[in-house]
Amino acid sequence: MRLLVSILIFFSLGSSIASATSIVVVRENNAIVIGADSKTTLMPGSGAGGAGSITKCKIVQAGNLFFASAGSAGIGPAEFPGDVYPEFDLKEIIAEGLKGDGRIEDKMRVLETVLVASLTRIVEKARQDDAAFFLTRFAGHPAHTIIVGGLADGELVLMVRTFRLIISPSGSLSFEIGRFACPGDCQGPVTAIFEGQTGAIRKYLEQHKLFLSYADPVTAVRGLVGIEISEDPSFVGPPIDILRLTKRDAQWIQRKPLCLESKENLVFPTGERDQGFSVGVHPAMSRGH
């Protein structure tokens, strides 16, 4: 049984019912565990003939960093053929932002700038095409959230960027960016982050206040994403991908076949910008479980 510890819990402000993704992150001591569901709901006009959903890889690698996203941009391979989603290529944006040398904070600023430009085009088009959908999807909900974990300058880092739409009285659009980073904003030995659709997770943690104190990080991540899937499988769906990061390596605890050994799941080709950081799979996965 684990000792009772101080836990910092971070939710994006406001309702998240429209995000149609569930991502849970637990940072404890010198490890980060990231879990994500697999379901992506297609936006109107996506090219798939209206409403529907596809299975996607929501965690991808870029050198020593791993990215997970919720909102108006998918990242990795999809089971649905054709260019139906994402609305913009987040992989290209990540690769552009990580070019060259410089601090990770500076590179994240570049990512923010490019993401804001792309998100502005998406929400403006949605407003022109379907005003009702525009208000339902973007008003009061995060338009996009990106979570970054991995090694930067020899340090294990965890960063969250949340993009919330602001509509001025005149109707012009802009984005407010929420920033969270560890080291820096984390207090205490355990930090838990929940992004995307989180209503069932919030309710469960209110009723089980000691859950994160006693569950190990992998169990906590798997269980909380699973709770969200059970609550509303129309928006959040299996299977659950789980990644564990340390300063030494990255280990996939579980990963769906769609993402296994997929070079498309890498922003950079294998071996580029990842010297000294190995990526492996949990022994249970190697046995086919």
pLDDT in tens, 212-236: 888 999 999 999 999 999 998 888 8
Q: Which two tokens stand for residue 138?
A: 């973007």
Contact 9, 183 (CB under 8 A): no
Q: Which listed CATH number (2.40.50, 1.20.58, 3.60.20, 2.60.40) goes with 7-286?
A: 3.60.20
- SS3 (DSSP) at 136: helix
Q: List phi, psi (to 5°) of 34.
A: -120, 130
State the residue for tokens 């046995």.
287
- SS3 (DSSP) at 65: strand
Contacts of 279 by beta carbon, 8 Å cutoff, 6+ apart: 61, 249, 250, 251, 252
Q: What is the 3-state secondary structure (H, E, C) of 171-214?
A: CCEEEEEEEEEECCCCCCCEEEEEEECCHHHHHHHHHCCCHHHH
Within a 10 A sphere around the Cβ of 214, how many other Cβ atoms?
A: 14
Q: Are strands 65-71 and 142-152 parallel, antiparallel or unpaired?
A: antiparallel
pLDDT tens-digit readout, 139-196: 777 888 899 999 988 889 999 999 999 999 998 999 999 999 998 888 778 899 998 8
Give the pLDDT of residue 60: 84
Q: Are strands 53-55 and 142-152 parallel, antiparallel or unpaired?
A: unpaired
Q: Which amino acid belongs to residue 52?
A: G
Query: Is residue 50 packed enough to be buried (19+ CB in 10 Å), middle (13-18) or exposed (0-12)?
Result: exposed
Top pLDDT among 189 and 25 is at 25
Q: What is the CA radius of gyration of the chain?
A: 18
- Where does the pLDDT of residue 46 fall: very low under 50, low under 70, confident under 90, or very high at 90 and above? very low
Q: Are strands 31-36 and 59-62 parallel, antiparallel or unpaired?
A: unpaired
Q: Which amino acid belongs to residue 200?
A: A
Q: In the β-sheet with 142-152, what is the strand arrangement from edge to edge?
A: 59-62, 65-71, 142-152, 155-167, 173-182
pTM of the model: 0.84
**Mean pLDDT computed over 264-269:** 64
Distance CA 229, CA 232 (A): 6
Give the pLDDT of residue 168: 92
